[in-house]
């Protein structure tokens, strides 16, 4: 009979296990710190794409706060094509600039998030199985190549994983909003996650369901509402200030690398990625454990771990842009379920394998090794050791700064490359870090390098196949010995790169001959891309051979159609303008286009656009907008429909000085009959179009005046 009795372990034994497990956790984190220090001391590669963007955002915050520009820090301008990022991560990251090597110093910020993640996994695992396997759960997940990859990159994703784990630990400890302190901690952690990145809510979907269930009881409802109010009080200020820009930019960003969700293979993308980067054994046995768990304690909460995993997997599979780092905060339950389900021998054997994978990630001794099985191809031993590689980023930028014409306010550089450590964001960040404010890197467009003083080509491989759309064609145009580029630019330097390619720097040729011998040029009809010109008369001023520019060039255009916007009676003068004709190869006197090389000033003497033309242009250019009526009388008033809902708006225009710019002030907006508070548009309600030289238009624009009256917008 005695043999049927269950004898619980003594409290003393439990304390010993806890103490030794905690000591093991401390040893693990200390080992991670040593490995990270070794990585930092060895690795010399510059940050990659998104990593450089985060480093530059942190620098933006640092400079704004250092100079006392609090409004600029609060309404920090987002990077091109990117949504505005919440500030929490970057406010910590900016401390890395106290170091002479901020990119590597930033990785120490990640270590503290790794510590938070490890402690949180330990706490969750101990809740379901209070023994030494809680430490194994930490090792299974935190020692994986996936987490080590995030640890050694300047990204916000490791903080997201850590905060998601910490938030669920607090939620579980609150017994579904029965306990005050952990419930309030959950509210704070939820807010912290949302202030790191907007996507944090996607990992909290089961938590929101639990919050709704809390309404069934008065006590849990009160605790939940106070927790939610605390979280909202921390979140709402920043999100309400950025709501005008955030949704559209998020949709744009999520469409990158789109794979239709209805494609059968889309649902296996993350399974394959997670298996390779977390480890095939951990992935397989962990997901089985989630479906058939054997929790020794808190079994009634086991469904939360499964829901956490499943909701995250479904959500991020639906989102077209599928990268494993986005899903990682939802994969934490795998390690807990693994240790709570499988025998200790299996658990510790796999943990030992993960420790080897940890060391191999930094050592690179083995792998990656792929097993080509009939039903799958699992990969083991993913690694990314530190590398002493000089990608010449700083040297190239300093060379450009030394070679540029100091009389120009800005020197644009067209980058024909998009590789991991040789891309526009990396150069942007390095240029900012070095304080080279007059050197600006830009990407390739349809006209390749127009108004760029320099062109930088990575040859022969411009980058990975999936991210170089248009670049091979641009590279071929540069290397065409009979093309316009060879007549306009000359090679001035080249550098060998670590991947056996070359970086080649071209500069505009100096002492170019006059491109047109006459003083006048007349075109009845001229088309270039989406620009259509009727009745063009050009008058060429004196040629400056030293600068290879016309001192002045006047253009009178009867009708100008720019992307659907029709302008009448346009009269402009170009100051210090240089260009080169694009000709048919068989006839050098037959121009098919031109490429602007230099322009210092654009004087718009006269311009006229009517309300009907502007109405048609807005309906064409703004997706979902149908403009019914548009009036021009002191202000611009518009009414119509946006995505089928009635909309109206009014805006004013005025020219401002110091610096010279055009201000567009949104005065009112009504949508579906409801007046939209202008506070919603606070970040963008006062748009300014710079008329001073900037990277988009590296020349000054002169407007003698601007009038809105009698249904027309005219200059002067």
pLDDT digits (tens, 9 = 90+) for 470-485: 899 999 999 998 889 9
192 pLDDT higher than 90: yes
Residue 248: what pLDDT? 65
**Same domain as 230, residue 304:** yes
| Tally of structural domains, the chain | 3
Among 380, 412, 443, the domain boundary falls at: 380
* CA pair distance 81, 696, nearest whole angstrom: 14
**Same domain as 401, residue 359:** no
Residue 210: what pLDDT? 97
- Cα end-to-end span (Å), the chain: 104
What percent of the chain has pLDDT above 90? 67
Q: Is residue 4 part of a domain?
A: no
* CA pair distance 457, 418, nearest whole angstrom: 10
**Same domain as 525, residue 445:** no
Residue 685: what pLDDT? 59
Four-point Cα dihedral 633, 634, 636, 637, nearest 10: -60
- Average pLDDT for residues 381-389, to the nearest whole number? 96
Q: β-strand 565-584 against 549-562: which pairing, if any? A: antiparallel
Q: What angle do CA 696, 700, 703 make, to 5 degrees?
A: 115
505 pLDDT higher than 80: yes
* CA pair distance 530, 562, nearest whole angstrom: 6
**Same domain as 478, residue 375:** no
Q: Long-range pairs for 459-464 at CB < 8 Å and ≥24 separation?
A: 459/501, 459/502, 459/503, 459/504, 460/501, 461/419, 461/499, 461/501, 462/416, 462/417, 462/418, 462/419, 463/417, 463/418, 463/419, 463/420, 463/422, 463/423, 464/418, 464/419, 464/420
Residue 161: what pLDDT? 98
Tell me the pLDDT band of 526, cut-offs 50, 70 and 90: confident
590 pLDDT higher than 80: no
Tell me the pLDDT band of 5, cut-offs 50, 70 and 90: very low
* CA pair distance 647, 514, nearest whole angstrom: 52
Tell me the pLDDT band of 624, cut-offs 50, 70 and 90: confident
Is 379:280 a contact under the CB 8 Å cutoff? yes
586 pLDDT higher than 60: no
What percent of the chain has pLDDT above 70? 94
8 pLDDT higher than 60: no
Residues in contact with 169: Cβ distance below 8 Å, sequence separation at least 6, in sequence order: 120, 123, 124, 127
**Same domain as 413, residue 360:** no
284 pLDDT higher than 70: yes
Give 287-319 pLDDT, tens digit per residue: 999 998 888 888 899 999 999 999 999 999 998
258 pLDDT higher than 80: no
Specify the range with the lowest mean pLDDT, choosing from 119-128, 191-200, 623-632.
623-632
Q: Is residue 543 part of a domain?
A: yes
Among 352, 380, 408, the domain boundary falls at: 380
Tell me the pLDDT band of 523, cut-offs 50, 70 and 90: confident
Tell me the pLDDT band of 134, cut-offs 50, 70 and 90: very high
* 82/439: higher pLDDT: 439
**Same domain as 422, residue 376:** no
Give 324-347 pLDDT, tens digit per residue: 999 999 999 999 999 999 999 999
Q: Is residue 3 part of a domain?
A: no
Helices (H) and strands (E) in the chain, counts: 23, 22
Q: Is residue 406 part of a domain?
A: yes
Residue 663: what pLDDT? 87
**Same domain as 591, residue 473:** no
**Same domain as 630, residue 598:** yes
Among 380, 410, 437, the domain boundary falls at: 380
Q: Is residue 626 part of a domain?
A: yes
3 pLDDT higher than 50: no
Residue 4: what pLDDT? 46
**Same domain as 414, residue 341:** no
1 pLDDT higher than 50: no
Is 652:635 a contact under the CB 8 Å cutoff? yes
- Average pLDDT for residues 592-612, to the nearest whole number? 90
Domain of residue 79: give its range: 17-380
Q: Is residue 586 part of a domain?
A: yes
- Average pLDDT for residues 134-156, to the nearest whole number? 97
44 pLDDT higher than 50: yes
Residue 6: what pLDDT? 45
Residue 461: what pLDDT? 95
Residue 115: what pLDDT? 98
Q: Is residue 12 part of a domain?
A: no
Is 328:146 a contact under the CB 8 Å cutoff? yes
**Same domain as 605, residue 526:** yes
**Same domain as 114, residue 25:** yes
**Same domain as 279, residue 196:** yes
SS3 label, residue 704: coil
Tell me the pLDDT band of 659, cut-offs 50, 70 and 90: confident
- Average pLDDT for residues 365-374, to the nearest whole number? 89
Helix (H) or strand (E) holding 615: helix 611-621
Residue 11: what pLDDT? 61
Specify the range with the lowest mean pLDDT, choosing from 20-34, 348-362, 406-420, 615-629.
615-629
Which neighbouring-strand residues pair with 596? 579
Q: Tokens representing 51?
A: 């990593």
Q: Is residue 97 part of a domain?
A: yes
Provide the 10 A C-beta neighbour count for residue 533.
Answer: 19
Query: What is the average pLDDT score of the chain?
Result: 90
Residue 466: what pLDDT? 82
Residue 2: what pLDDT? 42
Residue 158: what pLDDT? 98
């Amino acid at each position: 009979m005695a043999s049927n009795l269950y004898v619980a372990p003594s409290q003393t034994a439990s304390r010993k296990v806890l103490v030794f497990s905690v000591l093991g956790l401390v040893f693990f984190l200390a080992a991670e710190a040593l490995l990270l220090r070794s990585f930092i001391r060895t690795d010399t590669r510059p940050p990659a794409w998104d990593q450089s963007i985060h480093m530059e955002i942190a620098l933006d915050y640092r400079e704004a706060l250092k100079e006392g520009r609090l409004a600029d820090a609060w309404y920090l301008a987002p990077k091109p094509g990117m949504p505005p990022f919440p500030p929490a991560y970057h406010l910590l990251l900016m401390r890395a600039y106290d170091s002479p090597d901020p990119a590597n110093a930033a990785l120490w910020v990640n270590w503290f998030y790794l510590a938070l993640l490890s402690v949180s996994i330990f706490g969750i695992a101990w809740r379901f199985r209070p023994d030494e396997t809680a430490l194994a759960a930490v090792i299974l997940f935190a020692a994986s190549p996936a987490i080590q990859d995030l640890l050694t990159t300047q990204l916000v994703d490791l903080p997201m994983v850590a905060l998601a784990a910490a938030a669920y630990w607090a939620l579980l400890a609150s017994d579904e909003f029965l306990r005050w302190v952990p419930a309030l901690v959950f509210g704070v952690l939820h807010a912290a996650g949302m202030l790191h990145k907007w996507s944090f809510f996607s990992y909290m979907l089961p938590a929101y369901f639990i919050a709704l269930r809390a309404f069934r009881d008065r006590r849990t409802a009160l605790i939940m509402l106070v927790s939610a109010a605390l979280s909202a009080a921390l979140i709402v200020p920043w999100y309400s200030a950025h709501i005008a820009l955030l949704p559209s930019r998020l949709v744009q960003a999520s469409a990158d690398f789109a794979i239709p969700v209805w494609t059968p293979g889309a649902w296996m993308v993350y399974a394959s990625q997670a298996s390779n980067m977390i480890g095939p054994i951990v992935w397989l046995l962990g997901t089985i454990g989630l479906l058939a768990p054997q929790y020794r304690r808190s079994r009634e909460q086991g469904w939360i771990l499964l829901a956490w995993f499943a909701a995250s997997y479904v959500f991020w599979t639906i989102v077209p842009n599928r990268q494993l780092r986005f899903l990682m905060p939802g994969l934490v339950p795998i390690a807990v379920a693994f240790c709570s389900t499988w025998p200790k021998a299996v658990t510790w054997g796999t943990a030992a394998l993960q420790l080897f994978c940890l060391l191999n990630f930094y050592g690179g001794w083995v792998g990656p090794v792929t097993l080509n099985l009939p039903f799958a191809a699992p990969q083991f031993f993913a690694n990314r050791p530190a590398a002493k590689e000089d990608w010449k980023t700083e040297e190239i930028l300093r060379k450009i700064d030394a070679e540029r014409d100091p009389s120009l306010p800005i020197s644009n550089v067209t980058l024909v490359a998009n590789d991991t450590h040789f891309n526009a964001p990396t150069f942007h960040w390095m240029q900012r870090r070095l304080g080279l404010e007059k050197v600006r890197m830009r990407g390739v467009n349809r006209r390749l390098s127009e108004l760029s003083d320099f062109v930088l080509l990575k040859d022969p491989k411009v980058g990975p196949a999936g991210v170089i759309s248009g670049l091979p064609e641009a590279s071929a145009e540069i290397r065409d010995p009979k093309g316009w580029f060879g007549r306009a630019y000359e090679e001035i330097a080249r550098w060998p790169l670590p991947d056996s390619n070359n970086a080649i720097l071209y500069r505009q040729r100096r002492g170019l001959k006059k491109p047109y011998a006459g003083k006048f040029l007349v075109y009845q009809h001229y088309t270039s891309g989406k620009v259509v010109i009727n009745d063009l008369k050009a008058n060429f001023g004196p040629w400056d051979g030293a600068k290879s520019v016309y001192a002045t060039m006047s253009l009178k255009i009867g009708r100008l159609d720019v992307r659907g916007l029709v302008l009448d009676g346009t009269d402009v003068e170009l100051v210090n303008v240089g260009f080169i004709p694009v000709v048919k190869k068989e006839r050098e006197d037959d121009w098919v286009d031109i490429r602007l090389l230099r322009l210092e000033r654009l004087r718009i003497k006269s311009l006229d656009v009517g309300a009907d033309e502007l109405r048609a242009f807005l309906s064409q250019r703004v997706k979902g907008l149908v403009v019914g009526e548009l009036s021009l009388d002191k202000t611009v008033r518009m009414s119509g429909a946006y995505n089928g809902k009635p909309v109206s708006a009014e805006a004013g225009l005025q020219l401002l000085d110091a610096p010279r710019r055009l201000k567009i002030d949104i005065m009112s907006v009504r949508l579906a009959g409801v007046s939209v508070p202008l506070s919603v548009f606070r970040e963008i309600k006062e748009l300014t179009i710079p008329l001073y030289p900037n990277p988009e238009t590296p020349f000054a624009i002169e407007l003698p005046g601007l009038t809105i009256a009698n249904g027309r917008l005219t200059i002067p």
